Structure formats: structure tokens, C-alpha cells
């Protein structure tokens, strides 16, 4: 793909960015060449905008390691070692690293992110596919993932966590913002949300499940320890806790919201160390046997 002033003008760029482009990028320059020129000049946001406007390529950049101020690449990044970027690393397609992945401001991939170490972003994390880290994931702002997220250790998000797919976390899942999950949430340890937690399917944790406001699942909710929320607790099917189930003051506990009342005894059981206060629906089944 070659760039010309007319080609760029059709995308309605900002006046300042267009003037700079006209002065510094020759007509007929290649797509990646234009991105590299912008990044080298410190115009990283303009490079990201350009990539968003014109989309990915099928190019693949394969390197041993990647240590830079910023990286904006239209194709896929494949790094045998680690990636350490001071500001933004953005790829039009996938990002793969044989070590860790760290960015000072944002990590963005049009497709999957797969890392053999840990993922750390001092800003946001966004992926158009799956995200997988063989160690842990920590992000200071929001995480948006159009697929599944897998972390062998902790997943810590200091902003909103938005997933189209599921989350599979080996240890603790801790989120400071709203949790919106299209499918299931699973953690070997605790699941903690400072705000509400909503899952389209089920929620399963080896430890405590705690919602700062409401806790909702389209299927069931099961915890190895307690299930707590400062708001309501709602499950489409069963609720099961090794210890107590407790909603916020004045809020109810609901099971079986997605099944017929006649099926509550088998598909909407509520199991806990003691009957929850404010149990509004579902079949109380007493303490769990295991």
C-alpha cells in the first residue's frame, strides 16, 4: 500500500497531523514506512490513528528481542525473547513473545496476544482475539478482549475488565473496575471485583467470590469459600458456596432465574454453610457435602 496526500485526506485527519504528514512523508511512501516515520518523530498517537484507519497487513516482523520507545506495526509481531516498550506497542495482527511483554502506556493487538512470561501494561490492554500469559497479567487501566483471557498466575486489572469470551485464571482474579464477561469466569483462587461482576455464563472460584456491588451470572455461581456482594446476588441456575452466601443490606439472593420453578430442586439449588438471608428464589439444599 502506497500513501499519497489525497489518499490520506479521504480519512479526514486532524489539520495538524495532515500538515506534518505533507511536510515529512513523501507521496508514494509505503504503509509501514509511514508508520515508522511517525513513530520516529514521536507522533505515536498519529501512527496508531493511521493503523486504525487503514487496518492490518499480512506482514510478519520476527526479531530476537524488542526494546523501544514505541512500536506500531501493521502486521504481526513475533519476538523470540521479551518485549519492553516505554509507551505503546500496537500490532495490526497478533503479538507473540517468548519472554515477557511490558508497555508503559498501552498494549494493542488486532488479533491474539500470546506471551511465555508475564504481561504488564502501565496503561491499557486491548486485543481483538485471545490473550494468554504463561505467568501473570497486570494492567493499570482497562482490559478489553474480544476473545478469551488465560493467565497461569494472577490477573490484576486496575480498571474495567471487558471480555467477549471467558477468563481462565490459575490464581486470583482481582478487578478494581466493572467486570463484564460474555461467557465464564474461572479462577483457582479468589474472584474479587470492587464494582459489579457480570458473567453471561458461570462463575467458578476455588476461593472467595466477592462483588463490590452486584454479582450476576447467566448460569451458576460456585465458590470454594464464600460468595459476597454489597448488592444483589443473581444466578440463572444454582448457587453453591463452601461457607456463607451474603448479599448487601436490603438486597436479595436469587437462584434459578433462567429455569422453570418446577426445575429448581435439581437446577436451582442453593448450598451454603447456612441459609442466606434474603433468599428470594431457588431451592435451599443445605450445606454442601464436599
pLDDT at position 54, please?
A: 87
DSSP label of 142: -
pTM: 0.93
CA gap 59, 30 in Å, rounded: 13
Give the span between the Cα atoms of 68 and 219, in whole angstroms.
45
Q: Which pLDDT value is given to residue 23?
A: 64
Residues 6+ apart with CB under 8 A from 261: none
Sequence-distant (≥ 6) Cβ neighbours of residue 196 within 8 angstroms: 178, 179, 211, 212, 213, 214, 215, 216, 231
- DSSP designation for 276: P
Phi, psi for 163 (deg, rounded to 5): -125, 135
- Using only C-alpha atoms, the chain has a radius of gyration, in whole angstroms, of 23
Per-residue pLDDT of the chain (290 residues; tens, 9 = 90+): 556 666 666 666 666 666 677 666 666 668 899 899 999 999 999 999 989 988 999 999 999 999 999 999 999 999 999 999 999 999 999 999 999 999 999 999 999 999 999 999 999 999 999 999 999 999 999 999 999 999 999 999 999 999 999 999 999 999 999 999 999 999 999 999 999 999 999 999 999 999 999 999 999 999 999 999 999 999 999 999 999 999 999 999 999 999 999 999 999 999 999 999 999 999 999 998 86
pLDDT value, residue 170: 98
Question: What cell numbers appear for 45 in the block?
Answer: 498517537
For 251, the grid coordinates are: 438486597
Write down how long the chain is.
290
At residue 10, the pLDDT reads: 60
Which residues, 6 or more positions from 86, have their beta carbon under 8 angstroms from its beta carbon? Answer: 68, 69, 70, 103, 104
Amino acid at each position: 500500500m502506497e500513501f499519497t496526500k489525497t489518499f490520506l485526506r479521504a480519512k479526514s485527519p486532524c489539520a495538524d497531523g495532515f500538515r506534518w504528514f505533507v511536510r515529512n512523508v513523501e507521496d508514494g511512501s509505503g504503509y509501514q514506512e509511514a508508520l515508522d516515520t511517525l513513530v520516529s518523530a514521536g507522533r505515536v498517537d498519529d501512527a496508531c490513528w493511521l493503523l486504525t484507519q487503514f487496518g492490518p497487513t499480512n506482514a510478519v516482523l520476527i526479531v530476537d528481542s524488542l526494546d523501544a520507545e514505541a512500536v506500531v506495526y501493521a502486521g504481526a509481531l513475533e519476538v523470540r525473547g521479551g518485549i519492553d516498550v516505554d509507551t505503546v506497542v500496537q500490532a495490526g495482527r497478533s503479538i507473540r513473545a517468548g519472554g515477557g511483554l511490558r508497555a508503559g502506556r498501552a498494549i494493542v493487538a488486532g488479533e491474539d496476544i500470546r506471551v511465555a512470561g508475564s504481561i504488564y501494561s502501565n496503561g491499557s490492554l486491548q486485543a481483538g482475539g485471545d490473550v494468554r500469559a504463561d505467568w501473570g497479567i497486570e494492567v493499570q487501566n482497562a482490559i478489553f478482549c474480544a476473545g478469551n483471557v488465560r493467565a497461569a498466575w494472577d490477573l490484576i486489572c486496575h480498571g474495567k475488565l471487558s471480555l467477549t469470551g471467558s477468563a481462565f485464571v490459575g490464581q486470583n482474579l482481582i478487578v478494581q473496575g466493572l467486570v463484564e464477561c460474555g461467557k465464564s469466569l474461572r479462577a483457582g483462587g479468589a474472584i474479587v471485583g470492587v464494582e459489579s461482576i457480570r458473567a453471561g455464563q458461570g462463575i467458578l472460584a476455588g476461593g472467595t467470590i466477592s462483588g463490590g456491588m452486584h454479582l450476576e451470572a447467566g448460569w451458576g455461581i460456585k465458590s470454594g469459600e464464600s460468595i459476597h456482594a454489597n448488592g444483589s446476588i443473581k444466578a440463572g441456575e444454582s448457587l453453591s458456596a463452601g461457607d456463607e452466601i451474603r448479599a448487601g443490606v436490603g438486597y436479595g439472593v436469587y437462584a434459578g432465574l433462567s429455569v422453570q420453578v418446577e426445575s429448581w430442586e435439581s437446577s436451582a439449588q442453593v448450598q451454603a454453610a447456612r441459609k442466606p438471608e434474603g433468599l428470594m428464589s431457588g431451592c435451599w439444599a443445605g450445606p454442601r457435602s464436599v
